[in-house]
Chains A and B, each alone.
Chain A
């Protein structure tokens, strides 16, 4: 009778076994390796690294395998591991202008110095299911050399060219600028500066940012975006070593960067100029970088002197709800027992209905106002 809540320990262990079995699936099918995931599901790996906020392709691939392809779960696994890692220093800011770009496009200018590079993109694939991939061993690629061409020469940013004309507002590096905060080491507090907002958005759920960004395009804080520049490729990571007194390259990482050019603003003192939104993500993650740039721009409303009229511009609303590890945990905690709270509500509801003389009446099909009131109390 009281069995329902007992035996938790054995049940948990058995649940682990079942999960492992389900993850493995049909044993007649070869087991997926972490190397295969890393090489062949690279976009999933990129998302898990970005939102898990660790650049490690192998661990991200492992997390995807362990989570049976549930990317939000994989992101959680990687974050929980990340927390235990020691920090031995801070790298210099990466220089995306010096990127070895595989892809670089601008929707603002037809031609740009360094040129437009289409690179590998799903944009023009026509989305026809490729049944040759379905056939065993079909690779979908020929034998000819299709190694990506990369552009090794530094490519000036499109926005830098507008900047030279003074047409776009720019945040300049100030010598007295404070060190940026670290969201993984300090709690989010308001008001929040742009560096911290961008950290939050970089870790933020791609689906959430996509929807909020989309809403800005549909009039909820519209600011006329143009994809000023999107580039994807490898950048060097440099770390200054105290013993040496200069910076050394410790490796390359693949990133996707998006700089949006947005509608101009101006006031009596400041002449009108374009404004911008910024997005950066690990790996090849264009959708994420673009959505992030739209949301970044919307959240700049206050500093640009715009009226805050939409939730998309509300930093507290956006930043407190962007993290999928937090959101997933709290939504799913409703699975935990709430016997005690529910019992308290039952007791109250019965008492209210008795004292109102309605105990024998059935509940209306649509909740009456008083019950709605009570329902609101449920967290």
Chain B
């Protein structure tokens, strides 16, 4: 299913995958350090990219530093390959690196994502690159980077435990639904990027390498394959993920994260898988046995 992006020509006058080799080397050094200290934020000399800060410059730089000619790239935003920002970034690499791109999770060697982890489980042969707006999990409680560094050094995460305790007292549950902080390898409190907490359990012991790039904040961090990742919770209030009363209107899934759409003026709702590849492969699989049955008859 992977293919060269239709109608995109290789951009001339730029190095493979845009960044110069010196810059890639600098980013790879930061990545190695990040992998060695799981969940720890490593400062790096983020470059100005031809994409606005906040639109995926960190993920772009990480992908640029690790991508090779034989790689197959998938880019998703909100779980979908078709959103404008995902299309834009996929075309960027098709133009500057000439690599094969795909929308199928299983066919990709690198998946760059904003706000979701694919529903299809990843393998050891894959790398997941997250675009991160705010790498600091404590920034809502302590906006000072210098203070947060101290708290991480001391593994002093009392602030956030108090905040979640207060949530439970006030609302009966923890009122964080996305960018739900995780403790990586029993040491560093880490932002999973603004993925829904629904996706948090997928990070735990994932066979794929997970890399995180925050361009504007100039930080890189990583979760190596098969690393323990625990979402913050309390013994008497264990972590739980969102569940829907509905099923996907297209593929019937009850297991996936659903997007809600308003489909008419009366405010009727429709729920559809946010992961477009997962949804379409399920529909293809449902059609296929049907066809086979018809042929048999």
Is B78 in the interface zone, CB < 8 Å from A?
yes
When distances are taken between beta carbons in the complex, the residues of chain B under 8 Å from A332 are: 52, 54
Cross-chain contact B14 with A189 (CB below 8 angstroms):
no
Q: A339-B259, A343-B260, A377-B176 are in contact. Are A84 and B218 (CB under 8 A)?
A: no
Is B20 in the interface zone, CB < 8 Å from A?
yes
- Nearest B residue to A337, CB-CB: B78
When distances are taken between beta carbons in the complex, the residues of chain A under 8 Å from B87 are: 8-9, 12
Q: A8-B84, A330-B133 are in contact. Are A316 and B146 (CB under 8 A)?
A: yes
Is A361 in the interface zone, CB < 8 Å from B?
no
When distances are taken between beta carbons in the complex, the residues of chain B under 8 Å from A330 are: 53-54, 133, 216
When distances are taken between beta carbons in the complex, the residues of chain B under 8 Å from A82 are: 48
Cross-chain contact B53 with A329 (CB below 8 angstroms):
yes
Is B286 in the interface zone, CB < 8 Å from A?
no
Q: How far is the CA of A345 from the CA of B250 in the complex (A)?
A: 23
0/1 interface trace, chain B 174-217, chain A, CB 8 Å (1 if under):
01111100000000000000111110000000000000000010
0/1 interface trace, chain B 27-56, chain A, CB 8 Å (1 if under):
000000000000000011111111011110
0/1 interface trace, chain A 333-358, chain B, CB 8 Å (1 if under):
10011111101111110011001000
Cross-chain contact A379 with B194 (CB below 8 angstroms):
yes
Is A133 in the interface zone, CB < 8 Å from B?
no
When distances are taken between beta carbons in the complex, the residues of chain B under 8 Å from A344 are: 177-178, 196-198, 242
When distances are taken between beta carbons in the complex, the residues of chain A under 8 Å from B79 are: 340
When distances are taken between beta carbons in the complex, the residues of chain B under 8 Å from A351 are: 173
- Nearest B residue to A330, CB-CB: B54
Q: How far is the CA of A149 from the CA of B30 in the complex (A)?
A: 53
Is B66 in the interface zone, CB < 8 Å from A?
no
Cross-chain contact B257 with A340 (CB below 8 angstroms):
yes
| Interchain CB contact (< 8 A) of A341 among B49, B83, B178 | B178
| Interchain CB contact (< 8 A) of B83 among A190, A329, A337, A346 | A337
Cross-chain contact A341 with B52 (CB below 8 angstroms):
no
Main secondary structure on chain A at its contact with chain B? helix
| Interchain CB contact (< 8 A) of A340 among B78, B145, B146, B173 | B78
Q: How far is the CA of A339 from the CA of B275 in the complex (A)?
A: 12
CB distance from B173 to the nearest CB of A (A): 8
When distances are taken between beta carbons in the complex, the residues of chain A under 8 Å from B222 are: none
Q: Which of A317-331 contact B (CB under 8 A)?
A: 320, 325-326, 328-331
Q: How far is the CA of A373 from the CA of B163 in the complex (A)?
A: 11
0/1 interface trace, chain B 89-104, chain A, CB 8 Å (1 if under):
0010000000000000
When distances are taken between beta carbons in the complex, the residues of chain A under 8 Å from B74 are: none
Cross-chain contact A352 with B171 (CB below 8 angstroms):
yes
Q: Which of B217-247 contact A (CB under 8 A)?
A: 218, 242, 244
| Interchain CB contact (< 8 A) of A373 among B50, B84, B170, B244 | B170
Is B82 in the interface zone, CB < 8 Å from A?
yes
Is A83 in the interface zone, CB < 8 Å from B?
yes
Is A376 in the interface zone, CB < 8 Å from B?
yes
> 10 nearest interchain CB pairs?
A329-B53, A333-B54, A329-B52, A344-B177, A8-B87, A330-B54, A187-B218, A8-B84, A329-B54, A187-B43
- List 16 additional contacts besides A8-B87, A355-B172; criterion CB under 8 Å: A1-B270, A5-B82, A6-B82, A8-B82, A12-B84, A326-B53, A329-B54, A330-B133, A339-B274, A340-B195, A340-B196, A373-B175, A374-B175, A377-B175, A379-B179, A379-B194
Could you pull out 21 A-B pairs where Cβ atoms are within 8 angstroms?
A: A2-B272, A5-B82, A8-B83, A9-B91, A12-B87, A80-B49, A84-B20, A86-B20, A316-B144, A330-B54, A331-B54, A333-B53, A333-B133, A336-B85, A337-B77, A337-B85, A340-B178, A340-B259, A340-B274, A373-B175, A379-B179
